[in-house]
Amino acid sequence: MKNETEIETELELKKWLKDNCYPMKSYSINGNFIYEGCGIENNGGLYLWYYTERGEKTTLEYFATEKDAVQYALKQIKSDKHSNRNFIGMYKENEEVERIILELKKREVEYWTDKIPYGGINDWKTRIFVIGCGIKKVTDLIQNEEKTA
């Protein structure tokens, strides 16, 4: 695996992100499709760092070389504290949240949680995210989509 300072291409950046367990749902690196998030695009030899939301793309920065764009993108991604959080599930019952957190602690997996009004002000749910490659230790805890709602 390349050291961060040796990364010069989108392909190398994408590999580094995957090797370090960054979820790619919010980043378009080397052409993968995203609904919302940031990405790199080569536009006739000019590299763009952009943000897209609901089909609207906004260019944030321009770069003359792929290396400069990739190094900028890596810095931006690493500075976003949410970028390496892997979603494992959303839970209504506190007992289930406590059970999952206890299991994460047993496995020495770093995690993060928040509470959101998923179905409105009277329907609070707790989301649990695993940080980085801790996701490899908890594949059996990832909630399937039917149980999420």
Rounded Cα gap, residues 70 and 76, in angstroms: 10
Length of the chain: 149
pTM for the predicted model, two decimal places = 0.84
Q: Which two tokens stand for residue 51?
A: 């943000």
Q: Which long-range contacts (CB under 8 A, 24 or more apart) does 95-104 make?
A: 97/126, 97/128, 100/128, 100/141, 101/128, 103/138, 103/141, 104/128, 104/130, 104/134, 104/138, 104/141
The answer to whether 104 and 111 are in contact (CB under 8 A) is yes
* pLDDT over 90 at 39, yes or no: yes
* pLDDT over 70 at 1, yes or no: no
Q: Give domain 85-148's CATH number out of 2.40.128, 3.30.70, 3.90.1720, 2.60.120.
A: 3.30.70
Q: Show me where the domains of the chain are located.
A: 4-79, 85-148
Q: What is the pLDDT of residue 148?
A: 41
Instruction: Give me the percent of the chain exceeding a pLDDT of 90.
Output: 85
Rounded Cα gap, residues 130 and 109, in angstroms: 7
Q: What is the pLDDT of residue 4?
A: 77
Residue with tokens 């080569």: 42
Reported as a single tens digit per residue, the pLDDT across 96-124 is 999 999 999 999 999 999 999 998 899 99
- What value does the mean pLDDT of the chain take? 92
Instruction: Sort residue 112 into left (φ over 0), alpha (ψ -120 to 50) or beta.
Output: beta
Q: Quickly state the pLDDT bin for 45 (edges 50, 70, 90).
A: very high
